[in-house]
Amino acid sequence: MSDTPSVISSGDEAGIHKKKGPHAITVRAAVPSDADKIHSVVSESMEMYRVLSGIPVGALEASRETVQDILQAIGTLPVFVAVDSLGSIVGSVRLLLRPVSALNVDGLPERLLLHPQDTVAYFSRFAVHEDRQGLGIGGLLYRAAEEEVHRMHVTHMLLHTSLQNHIMVAFYKKRGFALVQEDASRGYPRGLLAKTLT
């Protein structure tokens, strides 16, 4: 079996599959019935991220998210889930589409060669179940999100991550992101990373 992701499309359904041993991971658009499981995966993953990054308790907005918030996101935003061969949700990510000026970073539109009202895709709530990390699932989720950004003809992806979490910083840099701002206003060194899509 191949470890190389391949895009599979059939009718209205599209997914990215990865064969790994006897199991396959499918990345697909989230549906409302996924909300409880997404909440569980995101909550557990964000707590682990918080601890590994040295982030103070309560400093992560994601830790206050409810199932209702996730249902609203599924209804209004691109939200993806990674599903294993048994149907369990093992990861999730979402994209927020907003004007670059909404990020409230002085000079950011100019640095990215954008008009302040140009839309950017903000990569958010990226989570992989603790027991499934290191198997390439995060890469599949990222790939699905980037393909969606291309499909929407958006030219820039942005995200925040703890600069103390060297694994995540390396993950994003490997995929072409560059640090555009550092900020410690939330009680930890937080970086805004950006990528221009070609």
Residue 126 has pLDDT above 80, yes or no: yes
Residue 8 has pLDDT above 70, yes or no: no
pLDDT of residue 84: 93
Q: Buried b / exposed e across 99-125, counting CB within 10 Å, b at 16+?
A: ebeebebeebbeebebeeeebbbbbbb
- Domains of the chain (ranges; CATH) run 6-196 (3.40.630.30)
Q: What is the mean pLDDT of residues 144-162?
A: 96
pLDDT of residue 61: 83
Looking at per-residue confidence, does 187 or 36 come out higher? 36
Looking at per-residue confidence, does 57 or 17 come out higher? 57
Q: Buried b / exposed e across 56-84, counting CB within 10 Å, b at 16+?
A: eeeebebeebeeeebbebbeeebbbbbbb
pLDDT of residue 56: 84
Contacts of residue 17, Cβ cutoff 8 Å, sequence gap at least 6: 5, 6, 8, 24, 25, 26, 27
How far apart are the C-alpha atoms of 82 and 133, rounded to whole Å?
12
Confidence at 134, pLDDT banded by 50, 70, 90: confident
Percent of the chain past pLDDT 70, that is, above it, reads 88
